[in-house]
Amino acid sequence: MASEAQRDVDVVRGAVRREHLAAAARAALGGGHRLDRVSRLRGGSKKGVYRLGFDDGSTAVAYVWDEAENFWPAGHGGAADRLADPLAPASGIDLFVAAHGRLEALGVRTPRLHLADRSGRWCPADVAVVEDVPGENLEALLDGDPRRAETALARLAEVLDVLRGHSGPGFGRVALLDDGGTAHGRSCEALVLDRALADLAEAASRDARIARAAARLEDELRRLAAAVRPRAAYGLVHGELGPDHVLVDGDGQPVLIDIEGLMFFDVEWEHAFLRIRFAEHYRRLNSAGLDERRLDLYALAMRLSLVAGPLRLLDGDFPDRGAMRAIAEHNLRQALALLPADGR
């Protein structure tokens, strides 16, 4: 994995320690690999992500799901309610295992899974041990190796076509639907509108610029939602597919990570996020036949989510605070820019 690692650590977070990860690694890979070092990888906000280095020079990555690893403030409702809400923060080993299995069945590359354990036998938290994919992520390649990045983008577009073409019986997280569950909400667009209004209220309580424009933003959200026509066709979407969540392996294949949010939903929700995160490179990922009215609604909703979410994250002890503030500030300006010039 390409994320930058910090120094070797003995204590992970919470109750998890180096010896727990060593035990999980032995269970995953066998006794021939002695753990030599553990380093935390940057970027995880809902789970801990650690590179495991062994005395033979090989590596693996451990995912740790534990309350101490989740920097997000506790949400409302229980685990079942959060699972039934497609737009709730996605975290947990069950979501990961279900998503990994679905992607593997579709031939979509994600790090190979060596171990997924919920028993607490080796670690006092849910843990998975996965392949450490060598090389950089797509975000780094877009900056430093444009030619290789172009190849990866073309292959990522093919992956998006595979996901879009895999339809589900309804909308909702893969883990929920696999168990015969039903997601909350009347429709994707209704869920997005409700969440956008909640994000708007939260952002307005935290920033005076949003507060001053709150009535106009609400009117615009409702106007855009009213223009969306009903539809009952749902593709598979990653949910947070930025270039930092795409590794590129030695063969130039895109490798999807942070997959817990995998769900059946409007594919326009994915593309609204792709447009934001890939910017001018999105042209390589654009897909024909998208509903422009849904894209308009989802673009504004996504911007508001990317204001409220980072500001909420800053209530806790998330370490990279400058980056979160920058994300909130950028998306705040973009949300305001989406308001009609005539002020209607």
Give me the CATH number covering residue 98.
3.30.200
Cβ(72)–Cβ(45) below 8 Å: yes
Give the residue ranges of DSSP H helices in 166-262: 174-178, 188-206, 208-226
Indicate whether 11 pLDDT > 70: no
- Domain C-terminal end among 83, 102, 131: 131
Question: Is residue 178 domain-shared with residue 287, that is, in the same domain?
Answer: yes
Question: pLDDT per residue over 156-174, tens digit each?
Answer: 999 999 999 999 889 999 9
Judge whether 97 lies within some domain.
Answer: yes
Indicate whether 339 pLDDT > 60: yes
* Range in 77-91, 110-124, 198-212 the model is least confident about: 77-91
Give the closest residue to 207 by CA, choosing from 328, 337, 340, 339.
328
Q: What is the pTM of this model?
A: 0.91
Q: Which residue has the higher pLDDT, 79 or 112?
A: 112
Cβ(243)–Cβ(278) below 8 Å: yes
215 is in which domain, residue-wise? 138-337
Q: Which residues, 6 or more positions from 247, have their beta carbon under 8 angstroms from its beta carbon? A: 1, 2, 111, 133, 135, 136, 137, 138, 254, 255, 257
Give the closest residue to 112 by CA, choosing from 124, 98, 89, 129.
129
Question: Is residue 296 domain-shared with residue 249, that is, in the same domain?
Answer: yes
Question: Is residue 195 domain-shared with residue 333, that is, in the same domain?
Answer: yes
Number of domains in the chain: 2
Q: How many Cα atoms occupy the beta-carbon half-sphere of 313 within 13 Å?
A: 25
Question: pLDDT per residue over 241-260, tens digit each?
Answer: 999 999 999 999 999 999 99
Judge whether 99 lies within some domain.
Answer: yes
Place 305 in a pLDDT band, splitting at 50, 70 and 90.
very high
Q: What's the CATH number where 237 sits?
A: 3.90.1200.10
Sheet holding 172-173, edge to edge: 172-173, 263-265, 235-237
Mean pLDDT, all residues of the chain: 91
pLDDT of residue 3: 45
Residues forming a β-bridge with 153: none
Question: pLDDT per residue over 46-82, tens digit each?
Answer: 899 999 999 999 999 999 998 887 766 665 445 666 8
Across 138-142, average pLDDT: 96
Question: Is residue 81 domain-shared with residue 186, that is, in the same domain?
Answer: no
- Would you give the distance in Å from CA 61 to the centre of its chain? 18
DSSP reduced 3-state for 213: helix
Question: Is residue 107 domain-shared with residue 157, that is, in the same domain?
Answer: no
Indicate whether 93 pLDDT > 90: yes
Share of the chain above pLDDT 70, in %: 91
Question: pLDDT per residue over 274-291, tens digit each?
Answer: 999 999 999 999 988 999
Place 42 in a pLDDT band, splitting at 50, 70 and 90.
confident
Question: Is residue 258 domain-shared with residue 151, that is, in the same domain?
Answer: yes
pLDDT of residue 99: 98
